[in-house]
Chain A
Amino acid sequence: MTTTSYIVLSAILFTIGTVGFMIRRNAIVAFMCVELMLNATNLALVAFSKMHGALDGQVAAFFVMVVAAAEVVVGLAIIVTIFRTRRSASVDNANLLKF
């Protein structure tokens, strides 16, 4: 398999994640789209790692996974807190900071 195919697949997944993040208003689904974008990036990193014949890309993907795990924990805690006070998981309803 050429590296290009993996990178193109990664780019498509990243784009789908971006579009999903822009059109979905449920905070949890928007969050899943961010996860998809991170996963797409990981695929690109691992494909580049194979292309260059070095494991650094895999280590970078590993660090991305760790950061994603930490991000999910804090993000979901924020969503639960917002849901508890506002009874809604929609990103439109959290508008207290709106100008």
Chain B
Amino acid sequence: MIALPALLIPLATGATVAFWMLAPVMILGALGMIAARKPVHSALCLAAVMISLAVQYAALDAPFLFAVQIIVYTGAILMLFLFVLMLVGVDIAESLVETIKGQRTLAVLAGLGFGSLLVFAIGNAIVGPAAGLAIANSENGGNVQGIAALIFDRYVFAFEATSALLITAAVGAMVLAHRERLVKRRTQSDLAGLRLKRYAETGQHPGPLPTPGVFARHNAVDTPALLPDGSVSELSVSATLKARGAVLDSRGLVKPVDETVEAITEEETPRTTEDEL
């Protein structure tokens, strides 16, 4: 009789907690993905959704899919997305001007209708408690073994077709991303010849550019090198830093040199006058 109230309280299992904690995260992540203006933010939201989904798989007795979801989706596919984003341009925010008038509103309305149809249809259709995967998982000694038994037995032809699909996709990606070279590749000797030709025609120095930094003061890349006459060597700093305005002020670099030179000459001047006296 004492244990009865404890039995009546519905026990919150790990799966329930995971579901109610992660379902809002997933929906918010999905909404953030379609609402974010920058594609990188969309990708990060999608990553959150996918990792939460992996946890849901774990709660649904699918440890193999849990690992595959994280490795394949979050690890490989999403990184591929991010790579292409970096390639195509990270900071392109798309314009909010609608090409078809009222398209966004209509799309959201259609989505709402479709979603409610789906949710209510399913809410009415599903009956009966879940059978659970305990038996199916233990049949072959584990979840991975059970999936392997299915893949290499009942679904072996689908699995073989998958391998053909993957090879086709790899070849297709290579063909699509391949670019024909229109001009002959310039070799080392060609480049050396070009450098010397430029030296003969315009007098441009054929060797490497001067390195940045002032000896015993700064060796950072934003410090321009000083020439023997105290002026600044423009070639020693990267053009990108110059365009950003991140180059150190040259007057501050030249000043200590000038001060030292002045101090030395001042010290020398009185000595010569003493000698004369």
Chain A residues in the interface with B (C-beta under 8 A): 1-9, 11-20, 22-26, 28-29, 31-33, 35-36, 39, 42-43, 46-47, 49-56, 58-59, 61-63, 65-74, 76-81, 83-84, 89-90, 92
Contact = CB atoms under 8 A, between A and B. Distances in A.
8 contacts: A1-B13, A11-B115, A19-B110, A25-B99, A26-B92, A28-B39, A36-B46, A50-B131
A89 B118 contact: no
B104 A62 contact: no
Contacts of B50: 39
Main secondary structure of the interface of A (DSSP, over half): helix
B263 interface: no
Contacts of B84: 28, 76, 79-80
A72 B118 contact: no
Contact of B173 (A14, A53, A74): A74
A84 B16 CA distance: 48
Interface residues of B, number: 84
A77 to B, nearest CB: 4
Interface of B: 13, 15-16, 19, 23, 26-27, 30-31, 33-34, 39, 42-43, 46, 49-50, 53, 56-57, 59-62, 64-65, 68-69, 72-73, 76-77, 80-81, 84-85, 87-89, 92, 94, 99, 103-104, 107-108, 110-112, 114-115, 118-119, 122-123, 126, 128-133, 135-137, 143, 146-147, 150-151, 154-155, 158, 162, 165-166, 168-170, 172-173, 176-177, 179
B27 A50 contact: no
Contacts of A17: 30
A77 B34 contact: no
- Which of B43, B76, B88, B155 has the largest count of A CB atoms less than 10 A from its CB? B88
Given A49-B133, A67-B165, A15 B111 contact: yes
B125 to A, nearest CB: 9
B62 A80 contact: no
Contacts of B168: 70
Contacts of A46: 56-57, 60, 62, 65
B65 A14 contact: no
- Which of A42, A55, A56, A59 has the largest count of B CB atoms less than 10 A from its CB? A55
B131 A77 contact: no
A4 B72 contact: no
Contact of B115 (A12, A22, A72): A12
Given A22-B107, A26-B39, A58 B64 contact: yes
B133 A53 contact: yes
A16 B30 CA distance: 7
A95 B153 CA distance: 46
B48 to A, nearest CB: 11
Contacts of B119: 8, 11-12
B123 A76 contact: no
A80 B10 CA distance: 53
A19 B111 contact: yes
Contact of B62 (A29, A49, A51, A52): A49
Nearest to B94: A26
A56 B150 contact: yes
Contacts of B77: 35, 68-69, 72
A86 to B, nearest CB: 11
A97 to B, nearest CB: 16
B276 to A, nearest CB: 76
A13 to B, nearest CB: 5
B32 to A, nearest CB: 10
